Amino acid sequence: MKHTENAPAKLNLWLNVIGKRSDGFHDIESLIVPTSGLSDVLRFDVREGGGGLNFSCNVSELTVGEDNLIIKALTLIERELEIKIEGYIELEKNIPIGAGLGGGSSDAAATLRSLNYIFKSSLSLDKLNNMAASLGSDVPFFVNSKPTICKGRGDELIFYSGDLTAKPIVLIKPPFGVSSAWAYSNLGKDGNLNEWSNDVQIADWGEAFNDLEMPVFKKFLVLPAIKTWLLERNETEVALMSGSGSTIFAVCVDLPSAHKVVDKARDVFGSSVWVKVVEIAAS
């Protein structure tokens, strides 16, 4: 059966890292939202059978082996349904890798949703969330893809009922990624940038902050430079790092302001930066 599924990017509007757990993960609390205007696209042409699976992607550096979250999600479905899946999966990768935008997790969740639909397996949302949690901390959020306060290691979901004004958001990512594992492992170590440790802004949704800025900004000095530059502009209201980076996002006053920020960012930071305008997808 053929099926196409969008896998949206996410933004962390605030991220509080509470502490390290006994299982090695960290307890967090974070308001996470899906975006409108930036998604990976997965195209499936699959069926039950043992003829093997072909996978293709437009980004050459993306691994396609057993560590690929799409393949891991497919394997979980095969085990749950006690079937083998054959056919073809194509990934159109639009979300940058290592950007703090959740591209890999979103792809995994889109795979779970799609295969559940294709094979008419009627797995419950709770079941899909449990399967998603075994794949990664952000994956349960993406199964639902709606504004959510995520707790625990990210697998405890409270759907957000507050108002999220649909203002344009500019994403700026320099030409490198940041490992989530590295960012969390360096949180709280000596030498963090003190001036960012209590940087809480007030946004339409309440407080805006990210505890992971401290270790990441210490190592990647261009990131606090981008954030400072954004905060100094009249066109922006809030600027923050998403997830573990390396994307810095800014909520803008209106769409013309967002386009002005995009043009200026390319002038200031060069053509190597990736820049994109998105909005919060409220539902």
C-alpha R_g of the chain: 19
The CB density around residue 82, as the number of other CB atoms within 10 Å, is 6
Could you give phi then psi for residue 144, rounded to 5 degrees?
-95, -35
Residue 3 CA to its chain's centroid (Å):
23
CB-based contact 174:96 (threshold 8 Å): no
| From 10, 93, 167, 173, the catalytic residue | 10
2 is catalytic: no
Structure token digits, residue 206: 């309440």
Question: Are the C-beta atoms of residues 261 and 171 closer than 8 Å to each other?
Answer: no
Select which of 40, 93, 107, 138 is catalytic. Answer: 138
> How far is the C-alpha of 262 from the C-alpha of 271, rounded, in Å?
11
Strand partners, 239: 250
Q: Which of 56, 128, 121 is nearest to 87 (CA)?
A: 56
155 catalytically annotated:
no
Q: Enter the tokens of residue 15.
A: 């991220």
Overall residue count recorded for the chain in this entry: 283
Residue with tokens 């802004």: 201
Residues designated catalytic? 10, 138
